[in-house]
Chains A and B, each alone.
Chain A
Amino acid sequence: QQQVKQSPQSLIVQKGGISIINCAYENTAFDYFPWYQQFPGKGPALLIAIRPDVSEKKEGRFTISFNKSAKQFSLHIMDSQPGDSATYFCAASTGQGGSEKLVFGKGTKLTVNP
Chain B
Amino acid sequence: AQKVTQAQTEISVVEKEDVTLDCVYETRDTTYYLFWYKQPPSGELVFLIRRNSFDEQNEISGRYSWNFQKSTSSFNFTITASQVVDSAVYFCALYEGGSGNTGKLIFGQGTTLQVKP
Say whether A associates with B.
no
**Which residues in A have some Cβ–Cβ distance to B below 8 Å?**
none
